[in-house]
Amino acid sequence: MGEQLIGIHSLLATIVSSVFLLLALMDKDELENFAFNNALKISSVVNVIALLVYSLYSISLGHKNIDINVIFYSIEAISIVTLLLYYIDLKGFNLKVKIENEKFINILTYSSITISTLATISMLFEFKTFENTIGFIRYDELILFINAIFFTLIIPLLPKRKKLNLEEYKKEKKEIDKKFKMMYLVYIVIMVFVIIYIALKK
């Protein structure tokens, strides 16, 4: 029964990928080419994230082997999502997401930095709370990796900066420098505590 399902799945993946390859390789006008490239970009990002999350989930549970169905699912996903988004784009619906609320952006950014810092400290000290007895990576490592993916997704969603005159540029640069100095100060304080902790532990 299992072998029969794999055979059916491989047939489905072949049909879907054939339609995708036909669309990818055929001649298209400028509008169609733009729509296809945009659809392929989004579907590729979704597929890569899904595969990475699945891989992290598997190694956290101690799984070494890759299910052949996962490969078929990834082929089907990138093909079907690309075809679907391509059709939607040609109909005039362009999927674009931007975060306009600056406070919300700051909350996401600082939350991500805080999580990364705490996870790194936990990895350095190897806290037992985050030990993983069944998998190949610790839970704090898993959190750090997932947070890294989350942070890379935030950056493209930021709104485009408007063109500034000289005075506005100086003012914004001053604000950015102030924020970075604060981040550096927090990082240095954390590192000092880490060094003191390690020294006292010895």
**pLDDT per residue as tens digits for the range 167-185:** 666 676 677 667 666 766 7
**Cβ contact 10:72 at 8 Å:** yes
For 151, the 3-state DSSP assignment is helix
**Is it the case that residue 79 has pLDDT exceeding 80?**
yes
Span 94-102, mean pLDDT? 68
**Is it the case that residue 194 has pLDDT exceeding 60?**
no
Amino acid residing at 165: N
Rounded Cα–Cα distance for residues 101 and 105 (Å): 6
Give one DSSP letter per residue of 38-88, joined into a string: HHHHHHHHHHHHHHHHHHHHHHHTT--SPPHHHHHHHHHHHHHHHHHHHHH
**Is it the case that residue 159 has pLDDT exceeding 70?**
no
**Cβ contact 82:32 at 8 Å:** no
Domain ranges within the chain, ordered by starting residue = 2-90, 102-201
> Is the pTM above the cut of 0.75?
no
Span 15-29, mean pLDDT? 89
Span 48-56, mean pLDDT? 89
Q: Residues 59-73: pLDDT tens digits?
A: 888 887 877 888 888
Q: Which residue has the higher pLDDT, 100 or 86?
A: 86
| Confidence (pLDDT) at 179 | 65
